[in-house]
Amino acid sequence: MKPVNVGICGLGTVGGGTFNVLKRNADEIARRAGREIRVSHVGMRQTKEGFDFDGCTISNDIFAVARDPDVDVVCEMIGGYDTAFELVMTAIENGKHVVTANKALIAERGNEIFAAAKAKSVMVVYEAAVAGGIPIIKAVREGFAGNKVNWLAGIINGTGNFILTEMRDKGRSFEDVLKEAQELGYAEADPTFDVEGIDACHKLTILSSIAFGTPLAFDKAYTEGISRITAQDVTYAEELGYRIKHLGISKRTDKGIELRVHPTLIPETRLLANVDGVMNAVVVHGDAVGPTLHYGAGAGAEPTASAVVADIVDVVRALELNDVQRVPPLAFHTQQTDIDILPIDQIESAYYLRLEVEDRAGVMADIARILGEQDISMEAIIQKEPQEIGGEVSVILLTRKVLESSLNQAIADIEALSSTLGKITRIRVETLKD
């Protein structure tokens, strides 16, 4: 059989990694795929050094790759929004299958892209868009096809996890670690996407859709970053037997689907609590399979290329088919559109609260009264002695599960007490049990 021709658009980290892995493992990949897979065309604005472009057309216009009649599969490796969208749509119009690692593009414009792909009978695959080298899309979309997924929760941003790991291990502040992460190249000069949870939310949006069979709903997700987590909170969480992780969580409930990214206390005995540094991990809980965990590198040239190449092999295996959409891009042939994404104040969660109060009689009674009014019961209370007589006292509360709107009311009422100093810190708590 003749070789399959792959076109790579963009030769940065992911594109370069894909180019190298396809070359280095060409024999092994051909033995798996049943056909030779070769890079026939590379598009990049400026021609890069250090690659063996032998037998490969080079274009400085990436759109030339998407229109090349000899290319079977187009890899969109440029990232970003508008040009990437235009490139993917051009490739689809030209009857090319598309592989992308672009989470923002899929999460925000996937519904349009998949509709176009269906109309032109081509595949658009994106394993590399979520959790890098971990084959989590395949696991949820195919491996758990027999399950009704109950919930999933993941550490899906390596930068954020690196920062939280360093804060815990070394008692350092958020700002301090962020600066180091930027120097090490783990964090961008503008770290907003990573530390404010937008990147994680893109990935969560995709996972939620393929787990529950609902349309992509990025604009309905709740996102909260880690920039307000203090070294103190990390320490108090540990005293309570928890670790703070930046999680993407999506759950199916009777009221609708929860879709939220935020710092979360999880019990330190969970495997997920022990996923450290830049590593990623996703827990998926299915009604038949129970809890499962999938761990690996969430970024980097070669781990991401691992996912891109697996996708290319999947496409190659489907090339001769009439119906390439046997595995639908978002896992379900028919999506459930009558199910709501819950607003964040309608979720149910346990909570960690930290407040500073005046050191005087009756303060705890007032707090207890307010919590009682909202039917909030306590799992644990820690009161930290003041540094000086009459100074302020830190109170840490761990609540049982409660509706978030009730908790918000309690927080407002407690903050209104004259004995409460400043704002209350609130972090959600998940046990990650059934």
Give the footprint of a second copy on residues 352-381 (CB under 8 A): none
The type of residue at 258 is: E
| Distance from chain centroid for Cα 289 | 22
Active site residue 103: no
Ranges of H-type helices in 289-434? 301-318, 363-373, 404-415
Give the footprint of a second copy on residues 206-225 (CB under 8 A): 213
Shortest distance, position 141 Cβ to a second copy, whole Å: 8
Listed ranges 50-58, 217-225, 239-247, 323-331: which one lies at the site for a second copy (CB under 8 A): 323-331
- For the record, the structure tokens of 167 come out as 């804060």
Backbone φ/ψ region at 213: left (φ over 0), alpha (ψ -120 to 50), beta = left
Binding mask 4-43 for a second copy (x = CB under 8 A): -------------x---xx-xx--xx-xxxx---------
By beta-carbon proximity to a second copy, the closer residue of 307 and 398 is 307
Rounded to the nearest 5°, which phi and psi values hold at 386? -70, 155
Binding mask 269-308 for a second copy (x = CB under 8 A): --x--xx-----x----xxxxxxxxxxxx----xx-xxxx
Q: Closest by alpha carbon to 183, among 163, 167, 204?
A: 163
Give the footprint of a second copy on residues 122-161 (CB under 8 A): 127, 133-135, 138-139, 142-148
Half-sphere exposure of 152 (CA within 13 A, CB side): 31
User: What is the three-class DSSP state of 115?
Assistant: helix
Q: Which of 23, 48, 317, 401 binds a second copy (CB under 8 A)?
A: 317
Binding mask 73-92 for a second copy (x = CB under 8 A): --------------------
By beta-carbon proximity to a second copy, the closer residue of 18 and 223 is 18
Q: Is 45 a binder of a second copy (CB under 8 A)?
A: no
3-state helix, strand, coil in the chain (%, to 5): 40, 25, 35
- For the record, the structure tokens of 232 come out as 């103190």
**Residue 120 and residue 97: Cα distance in Å, rounded?**
10
Residue 347 · residue 371 · CB < 8 Å: no
Q: Kindly name the residue from 138, 203, 245, 251 that is annotated as catalytic.
A: 203
Active site positions, annotated: 203
Binding stretches for a second copy (CB under 8 A): 17, 21-22, 24-25, 28-29, 31-34, 127, 133-135, 138-139, 142-148, 213, 271, 274-275, 281, 286-297, 302-303, 305-310, 312-314, 317-318, 320-321, 323, 326-328, 331-334, 336
